[in-house]
Amino acid sequence: TVSITPSSSSIKEGDAVTLTCNTRASNPAVSKYTWYRNNTVLLPRWKSAKQTFKSIARHDTGVYHCEAENTAGSTLSRTVTLNVLCYVGETVIIKSQRKNIKEGDDVTLTCNTEGSNVTATEFWWYKNNKKVMDRQQQTLQLTNIKSDNAGNYVCEARNKTAFTESAAFYLNVLYAPRKTKVVSSDSTVPEGGAPTLTCETESNPPAQITWYKDGIQYSRSSEKTLQFANVTRQDGGNYSCVATNTLGNHTSESIIVIIPCNNATERQRTNVILVVIVVILLIIIVVATIIIVIQCYRQSICFNCSPSFSSTDPSPPPFF
């Protein structure tokens, strides 16, 4: 028998096609194969069990059979028909009843053959160059559509002799932000470090990002990535982001950024504080000493200026 790979019903111009001459048993082994097309012997190169068309053409259409021969005799296979569909160009288009398609919508794609010179008897649908199985109708119905349904769709209209296909139609599925999370380059960042926080999300259309620190909007950046330089302990806290597009928003869980104290820096701060305390104490002591000296000096002057009376001094005569 002769087998065709792929099946004869789906062969188009340009496809790679293999014909195989199968024999159930042979003793001795088959020593010669002869191939026929429309009962005409093919060229001598057709002398093996398998014959491959690297890029089959319309003129390769025909009725094929093979003959297997050994020293005991020969036998003929049954005939098979190889039908190569002629490509007549992009003469059909895909139409959709919706323009802005959102998750959850029902969508119908139609293979429009108006203006095509192929009277189609069946339609084949492809998504991202892969055949959509069990879809041989003129319309392709997608219910409760998901983001996974997005992609390039092509429809193919065909009959027994020819086929035509559409240009790729990109099905764009819109959806609100989801799976939003904050990713940190470092879980613990030393003072002076340069950590990076990234707000990751899935959305279509792309989302705008808003950052929050400890529940308060963080106006430092509205970009997807929050880049720090030379952080201090004041930069530590709970960070989160909100992704927003025209269909909704989604908030991430908070991530804690911990900035432990730098020991060297802390020692420097402690030393500075001690120096300040000593200086203040010295100033207080100096000021207190000055005040005491001034008071003693004043008391000494007052004591020396006071009038004194001696018992030996003559008393003034009594006045009568």
Q: Using CB atoms within 10 Å of the CB of residue 78, give its burial: 0 to 12 exposed, 13 to 18 middle, 19+ buried.
A: exposed
Residue pair 20/77 in contact by the 8 Å Cβ criterion: no
The most confident of 5-14, 156-165, 214-223, 244-253, by mean pLDDT = 244-253
Q: Is the pLDDT of residue 319 over 60?
A: no
Q: Per-residue confidence at 310, pLDDT binned at 50, 70, 90?
A: very low
Long-range pairs, 295-299, Cβ under 8 A, ≥24? none
**Fold: same for 2-84 and 87-171:** yes
Instruction: Assess whether pLDDT exceeds 70 at residue 261.
Output: no
Domain range summary for the chain, segments of one domain joined by +: 2-84, 87-171, 176-257
Instruction: Tell me how far CA of residue 26 lies from CA of 55, 101, 147, 159, in angstroms.
Output: 32, 62, 56, 40
Q: What is the architecture of the domain spanning 87-171? A: Sandwich (2.60)
Over residues 11-33, the mean pLDDT reads 88
What's the pTM value of the predicted model, to 2 decimals?
Answer: 0.64
Bridge partners (DSSP) of residue 256 are 238
Q: Which tens digit of pLDDT belongs to each residue from 162-204? A: 888 899 999 999 999 999 999 988 767 788 888 899 999 999 9
CATH of domain 2-84: 2.60.40.10
Backbone angles phi, psi at 221, to 5 degrees: -155, 145
The topology (CATH level 3) of 176-257 is Immunoglobulin-like (2.60.40)
> Is residue 317 reached through a cis peptide bond, with omega within 30 degrees of 0 on the bond before it?
no
pLDDT tens digit sequence for 80-108: 988 888 877 777 888 887 888 999 999 99
**Could you give the C-alpha distances from 90 to 124, 143, 176, 226, in angstroms and in order?**
14, 27, 35, 48
